[in-house]
Chains A and B, each alone.
Chain A
Amino acid sequence: MTHRYRESRLILAGCLALSLALGIALTLPAMAQDKPRYGGELVFVVPSEPPSYDAHQEETFGVIHPVAPHYSLLLRVDPFDKTGTKPVGDLAESWTISKDGVTYTFKLRKGVKFHDGSEMTSRDVKASYDKIIFPPMAMKSLRKGAYAAVEAVEAPDPQTVRFRLKWPESSFLLNLASPWNWIYKADTLAKDPWWYEKNVMGTGPFKFVEHVRGSHWVGKKNPDYWDKGKPYLDGYRAIFISSSSAQVAAVRGERAMIQFRGFTPADRDSLVQALGPKITVQESAWDCVLMVAMHHEKRPFDDKRVRRALTLALDRYQGSQALSRIAIVKEVAGVQVPGTPWATPPDELAKLAGYWRDINASRAEARRLLKEAGVPEGFAFTFKNRGIPQPYEPLGIWMIDQWRQIGLNVKQEIIEASAYHPMLKRGDFEVAMDFQCGFIVEPDLDLGRFLTNSDANYGKHKDTVIDDLYVRQARAIEPEERRKHLRALEKRLLDEEVHVLYTLQWHRIIPHSSKVKGWTITPSHYLNNQLDTVWLSQ
């Protein structure tokens, strides 16, 4: 019995050892795969060209994608955080916030050098932020409004930068991680504040090599990059291709490895079908949304019952399932991207008008409201939409069909893309598609457009309650308090007053070569483009 017992123990031990050896043998190559490899050139497609090289003055990803690898930020969004909302130090090594929430002090890294060999100090950070927040006369700074709380930027010593605020602002730290706030050299800015429009010189992981307009942009590894051991790539090449079919063809033909903005579901499917395991797909909710603006000064849209009926008609849950097969939309969301810290929980969302789970009850209520407001069956109006295929056209067709189901007869008028924004600003519409794309998911950045005096308040609503709730949430230091104000603002905006109507959250789809490692998708196509963490497995 003892002998047999010993024998079986030996067999068991042998089996265990064999499994362990097999396990190690199988895991090792995978582990080796996860260890960054040095070398290689990343080739990626950029769908548009940079109008200038100065991100402080620009608002297109066409600047960020090819040019961001040359620069550093004071803070950046954690390149591995899928929510794209976690600030980490870039040039800042550490920071402290005063108890009253109005002083932010940053300690900078030592030994950071510009590509010309000069040392980066707090003077450079101050000069860059002064350019953004207090730009020289005649120079535009698109994001200075986001820093209205800043009273002064100070550089008390070469390694310290201090921001003094007029009032506490809960979004301030994340706002400093804005991908647009590249740190420029103070001396260069002092000589010529416009120098960075046509020249490139930063402290980023890659040095500038060349830009051939209409063709490509090339960067090479910066051997003096402050983060020793990075970047992993020898360089990168951004190729400019505006046609979406040509972009897909470039990835399919393996002439490009990735396009950082996003592809459509059909493109994704065709690439996966063509390339199989050679392609890896990353997907995320996208910090872009199409909304419907209803002109509050035009009848019958001045009546909130009519506006409420329009949102109640939409079956967002069914729309999400179906449209995500053909368009770059997917998630049903409130005023924040799902999965991010301030997003509305689904149960709470389902209580808002237009988000009810029972679409029949929702549409019955919509019909009742229209009747009560004196809107006759078959009432006709024109819906203005922007002449861009994705996702404007599919969403437009979907909404017109949804409104038809509550007895409205909607005609669509497509306005050419460049004429669209002026049309919205003129208020030359009854009901029109409005749009928003953020660079970081943060209520302060996303909701400012709904303030009564905002330039983007195209529907021309006047609502001091919204204005007050916005300020309250922005200045709330405690997360729970902020959440409470946010939910109240959302309920007023989308349910009680229905000033606007949210459609579906965009959905970002990045099919890329499986060789590309170290890059994580976030909800914003403006984030995570410094490329210092990216490497190629082959």
Chain B
Amino acid sequence: MAVRVEAIREVREPSRWIRAVRDFCRKRPLGAIGAAVVVLMLLVAVTAPWLAPYNPVTVDFGAMLAAPSAKHWLGTDAFGRDVLSRLLYGSQTALIVGFGAALIGATAGAVLGVGSAYFGGRIDLYLQRLMDIFLSFPLIILALAMVAILGNNLPNLITAITIPMIPRCALVTRSSALAIREMPYIDAARAAGFGHARIMLRHMLPNVMAPYLIMLTAFLGQAILLEASLSFLGLGVQEPTAAWGLMLRGAAVEFAEAAPWMAVFPGLAISLAVFAFNLFGDSLRDALDPKLRTL
């Protein structure tokens, strides 16, 4: 009997991941709300073709500048395109650019940071000065310069947003990796004759995962904001593609008084997405940072 009770307990005991999620939600409700919004955004982006009531690029001159109604829940733009449909499809653009840029930027930054810390000496010196040069430019200015050089299509836009993120992540991961470099197990790996790549990838990178994840979530919000800013300036995604920043420019500015819904809803979407990623990122940092965890 006792054995059976033990067995049931074992079955009912939730997995480590579920426990972690449950703890996260309980201890950090704001972060959980952020995470929920992020998950919702992901779902919306994936299901946009089924959710959107209209084709986001179809011009309908019969419905130009229509106010929100039962037919068009969030109204239409100056070309009669449904604002809700463009918002839903716009989430795809935001997340593709956001995840693309943040993932590549944070990963490249982490590899460079770990490499810089591991090799030290002149390599570290030159790499860090290079990072300092990049860091001396504001994020938006560097992205603008990149778009001007590369041209403004989607892959170039992701590249332009990625490049300014690399040095920021490299700096953070380097400081963590510097401490790890001095650990006995790294010395042991060296003594065992492991190659540089194996030591860095197998033994150092996994140990900088916490700052990496924090930077990644922080960059997601920034990348979405940067994409929207560049698109608003006409340097990002191009019409007729649905993108939140793009929805804020042109006719949305000209008709801001007569048709405020054209600017209000995409503006809200950008704010909500960035806010959600920031909340989630902050809470994740609190949860993963051992110093904060002990406080």
Which listed residue, A264, A318, A412, touches B239 by the CB 8 Å rule?
A: A412
Question: Given the complex, which residues of B lie within 8 Å of A389, measured CB to CB?
Answer: 234, 249-250
Rounded to whole Å, the gap between the CB of A394 and the closest CB of chain B is 7
Which listed residue, A269, A318, A325, A413, touches B238 by the CB 8 Å rule?
A: A413
Asked whether any CB of chain B lies closer than 8 Å to the CB of A401, the reply is yes
A394 to B255, CA, bound (A): 14
Which listed residue, B250, B257, B258, touches A393 by the CB 8 Å rule?
A: B250
Asked whether any CB of chain B lies closer than 8 Å to the CB of A270, the reply is yes
B258 touches A266 (CB 8 A): yes
A322 to B60, CA, bound (A): 10
Q: Using an 8 Å CB-CB cutoff, how does the interface string of A396-410 with B read, 1 for contact, 0 for none? A: 111011001000000
A507 to B236, CA, bound (A): 29
B254 touches A397 (CB 8 A): no
A318 touches B61 (CB 8 A): yes
8 Å CB interface, B244-295 against A: 249-251, 253-255, 257-258
B61 touches A266 (CB 8 A): no
Rounded to whole Å, the gap between the CB of B139 and the closest CB of chain A is 21
In chain A, what residue has the closest Cβ to B152? Answer: A414
Q: Using an 8 Å CB-CB cutoff, how does the interface string of A251-268 with B read, 1 for contact, 0 for none? A: 000000000000010110
Asked whether any CB of chain A lies closer than 8 Å to the CB of B153, the reply is yes
- Interface size on B (CB < 8 Å)? 24
A414 to B238, CA, bound (A): 7
Rounded to whole Å, the gap between the CB of A116 and the closest CB of chain B is 47
Asked whether any CB of chain A lies closer than 8 Å to the CB of B54, the reply is no
A490 to B116, CA, bound (A): 67
Which listed residue, B58, B151, B253, touches A401 by the CB 8 Å rule?
A: B58
Which listed residue, A266, A326, A401, touches B240 by the CB 8 Å rule?
A: A401
A401 touches B57 (CB 8 A): yes
29 pairs across A/B with beta carbons < 8 Å? A245-B253, A264-B254, A266-B254, A266-B258, A269-B258, A270-B258, A321-B61, A322-B61, A325-B65, A325-B78, A326-B79, A326-B251, A326-B254, A393-B239, A393-B250, A396-B239, A397-B59, A397-B79, A397-B239, A398-B79, A400-B57, A401-B58, A401-B59, A404-B57, A413-B152, A413-B153, A413-B238, A414-B152, A414-B238
Asked whether any CB of chain A lies closer than 8 Å to the CB of B64, the reply is yes
In chain B, what residue has the closest Cβ to A382? Answer: B153
Question: Given the complex, which residues of B lie within 8 Å of A387, measured CB to CB?
Answer: 234
Question: Given the complex, which residues of B lie within 8 Å of A396, measured CB to CB?
Answer: 239
A394 touches B78 (CB 8 A): yes
A250 to B78, CA, bound (A): 25
A425 to B240, CA, bound (A): 26
Q: Using an 8 Å CB-CB cutoff, how does the interface string of B15-58 with A read, 1 for contact, 0 for none? A: 00000000000000000000000000000000000000000011
Asked whether any CB of chain B lies closer than 8 Å to the CB of A372, the reply is no
Q: Secondary structure of the A side of the interface?
A: helix
Q: Secondary structure of the B side of the interface?
A: loop
In chain B, what residue has the closest Cβ to A410? Answer: B240
Rounded to whole Å, the gap between the CB of A248 and the closest CB of chain B is 10
Asked whether any CB of chain A lies closer than 8 Å to the CB of B189, the reply is no
8 Å CB interface, B42-101 against A: 57-59, 61, 64-65, 78-79
A267 to B256, CA, bound (A): 11
In chain B, what residue has the closest Cβ to A413? Answer: B238
A400 to B59, CA, bound (A): 10
A325 to B77, CA, bound (A): 12
Question: Given the complex, which residues of B lie within 8 Å of A267, measured CB to CB?
Answer: 254
Which listed residue, B148, B249, B250, touches A416 by the CB 8 Å rule?
A: B148
8 Å CB interface, A379-400 against B: 387, 389, 393-394, 396-398, 400
Question: Given the complex, which residues of A lie within 8 Å of B153, measured CB to CB?
Answer: 413
Question: Given the complex, which residues of A lie within 8 Å of B64, measured CB to CB?
Answer: 322, 325-326
Sort A-B residue pairs by CB-CB distance and give the 10 closest, nearest first. Answer: A322-B61, A401-B59, A266-B254, A326-B78, A412-B238, A397-B239, A414-B238, A397-B240, A393-B250, A387-B234
8 Å CB interface, A301-336 against B: 318, 321-322, 325-326
Q: Using an 8 Å CB-CB cutoff, how does the interface string of B133-157 with A read, 1 for contact, 0 for none? A: 0000000000000001001110000
A495 to B17, CA, bound (A): 68
A182 to B257, CA, bound (A): 43
In chain A, what residue has the closest Cβ to B233? Answer: A387
Question: Given the complex, which residues of B lie within 8 Å of A394, measured CB to CB?
Answer: 78-79, 250-251
In chain A, what residue has the closest Cβ to B239? Answer: A397
Question: Given the complex, which residues of A lie within 8 Å of B152, measured CB to CB?
Answer: 413-414
In chain A, what residue has the closest Cβ to B55? Answer: A404
Rounded to whole Å, the gap between the CB of B145 and the closest CB of chain A is 13
A321 to B57, CA, bound (A): 20
